[in-house]
Amino acid sequence: MPLRSPQMLVTEPPVDLGAQFERVRGRTEQLCAPLAPEDTVVQSMPDASPIKWHLAHTTWFFERFVLGFGGEGGAPLHPQWHFLFNSYYQSAGPMHARTERGLITRPTLAQIRDYRRRIDAAVLELLQGDVDGALAFTLVLGLNHEQQHQELMLTDIKHLFWCNPLRPAYAPATPAPPGRAAPLRFLPGHSGIVASGFGGEGFAYDNELPRHPELLHPHAIAHRPVTNAEYAEFIRAGGYREPRLWMSEGWAALQREGWMGPLYWSEDLEYAFTLGGDCPLDPHAPVCHVSYFEADAFARWAGARLPLEAEWESLAAPVDPRRGHFADDDVLQPCGPGTDTGTEPTQLFGDVWEWTASPYVGYPGFRPLAGPLGEYNGKFMCGQWVLRGGSCATPRGHVRASYRNFFYPRDRWQFSGIRLAQDRP
């Protein structure tokens, strides 16, 4: 029988939760294996967090919301850590400033790993008893939350290593599978009334609900993402010197930050910094690490626009989201398409998150969860834009057609890319 919680669904039978918990928590530790203790402490910019903080925060989430310290679960293991590792749950208590997470040299990495082991043991013991729907839901939410942090760990360590003059590699570069992008084509999109939002079984975040009708006007969507070669052409054509292509705020950011191309690209447009160190740019791979402003400017230059999120979702709905290129493949860099005939949509899932032209707001009838978990998504529905599809740093199985990621339009350190759309008569 499906387990239900307001605005979210979980259908995994409780008997599987322990194995799921161990698998996801173990994957986080695997991602830390290439790192030295010194790598886990530093915060490279206010938007990023130290790896050590990610390890502690995701553990705090299970202690606070699954074990329920302060209620029937008893007192927390380390009461002072609640302040350090709460992220933004104001109704759960005060928290340390995000911009100062790199100053938390204590507790040590060893102490945080001991914290993880002890909380893991307590959660697994809890799961040996009766597991009701509310507990199962909260645990699965925590696992999805940890998978989001797994991706953030990769993007944050990439930015940190790029800031290091030695440009160290997180892990040896894994050769990307060969792929060649076919000439860009636009495929007719669905028009008329379409259903948007989560409507299946399994887990979904509250921001994917409720499922609702959307009116789509005639349009077409590019069969694949924009490639590195195409974006380099935009740069060489003076795209970063033409203010008429840019939103006013984007042009101001370009001038303030000195943008000359995507984050991590070399000035000669030949190399990019990756988690495997500096590597030659693959002309057929999707461009990544571009802001919404850059994606929008490129679309204008190309005589196109960015897709609305409902347009993107209607195209992606029939596609198996697990077949994309994800973090599990260990390449950790966008790849060229494996098979590209130009007649079918490719790379909708994995490789790069794709900016849409849709602001991040609630769907008609949206209701956040009750209590502190209601702060997970809803309170960020202001000034951000929706991205779809997942990236090469996203765990396989984490995303679906209705999944809504969101970032500020200036953000570039995520694996964010571009898919074009056009209006049609």
Q: Which residue has the tokens 């230059």?
A: 301
Taking only Cα atoms into account, the Rg of the chain, rounded to an integer number of angstroms, comes to 21
Q: What are the structural domain ranges in the chain?
A: 3-163, 186-423
The Cα–Cα gap between 152 and 393 comes to: 8
Sheet with 421-423, strands from edge to edge, namely 186-188, 219-222, 421-423
How far does Cα 287 stand from its chain's mean position?
16
The CATH code that applies to domain 186-423 is 3.90.1580.10
In the numeric block, which tokens belong to residue 88? 């933004």
Torsion angle defined by CA atoms of residues 387, 388, 392 and 398, in that order, rounded to the nearest 10 degrees: 120
Q: Which residue has the tokens 């797994």?
A: 150
| pLDDT at residue 8, rounded to an integer | 46
Is-above-0.75 flag for pTM? Answer: yes
CATH topology of domain 3-163: Four Helix Bundle (Hemerythrin (Met), subunit A) (1.20.120)
3 state DSSP class of 334: coil
One digit per residue, pLDDT tens: the chain, 425 residues? 233 344 444 444 445 899 999 999 999 999 999 999 999 999 999 999 999 999 999 999 999 999 987 455 678 999 999 999 999 999 999 999 999 999 999 999 999 999 999 999 999 999 998 899 999 999 999 999 999 999 999 999 999 999 999 999 999 877 777 789 999 999 999 999 999 999 988 999 999 999 999 999 999 999 999 999 999 999 999 999 999 999 999 999 999 999 999 999 999 999 999 999 999 999 999 999 999 999 999 999 999 999 999 999 999 999 999 999 999 999 999 999 988 888 999 999 999 999 999 999 999 999 999 889 999 999 999 999 999 999 999 999 999 999 999 999 999 999 999 999 999 99
Dihedral sign of CA atoms 343, 348, 351, 352 in order:
positive
How far does Cα 345 stand from its chain's mean position?
21
| pLDDT at residue 7, rounded to an integer | 44
User: CA separation (Å) from 163 to 14, 45, 277, 331?
Assistant: 44, 10, 12, 21
In the numeric block, which tokens belong to residue 75? 């007192």
The Cα–Cα gap between 249 and 123 comes to: 46
Asked if 9 and 204 count as a contact pair (C-beta separation under 8 A), the reply is yes
In the numeric block, which tokens belong to residue 319? 């596609």
Q: Which of 57, 18, 23, 56 is nearest to 136 (CA)?
A: 18
| pLDDT at residue 196, rounded to an integer | 98
Asked if 391 and 350 count as a contact pair (C-beta separation under 8 A), the reply is yes
